[in-house]
Amino acid sequence: MASKNSSTFSVLGSDLAIRGDIKASADLHIDGNIEGDITCTSLVQGETSKVTGAVEAETARLAGTVEGSITARELVILKTAKITGDVFYDALTIEQGAQVEGRFAHRDPKKGAPAATPKVEGQAKPELQLAN
């Protein structure tokens, strides 16, 4: 893992397939196939990439296939993207032609949670609630 003060990034090439969760403090560029959850500061996904699992990032720029939920403060979905899953965002840009099957929920940027999440006194507040 890289220091948060450095401007390094990691690249997972198109010939790479990973099964397992990825956690990165550096910026991450993915062109390969990932089966597992991804947590990082900044994610750039190439057109040929496929992610099967949840994505959580401060900023994400998606151009490939994602099968799983996406949570990002700033999210850009490019026209080549194919997303199946719920999307939670603070700021969202979708290019014409992008395919998304799922629900969109705007998060409260101050709390980092969906805006519709009720507050319950005396209980820990869950990070994310999904309706069935």
**pTM (predicted TM-score):** 0.76
pLDDT, tens digit (0-9, with 9 covering 90-100), for 22-58: 999 889 999 999 999 999 999 999 999 999 999 999 9
Say if strands 22-23 and 38-45 run parallel, antiparallel, or are unpaired.
parallel
What pLDDT score does 119 carry? Answer: 43
What tokens does 16 get? Answer: 């790479």
Residue 118 CB partners (closer than 8 Å, separation 6+): none
Any long-range contacts for 23-26 (C-beta under 8 Å, 24+ apart)?
Answer: 25/1, 26/1, 26/2
What pLDDT score does 16 carry? Answer: 92
What pLDDT score does 17 carry? Answer: 94
Which stretches of the chain score pLDDT less than 50? Answer: 1-3, 5, 112-113, 115-130, 132
SS3 79: coil
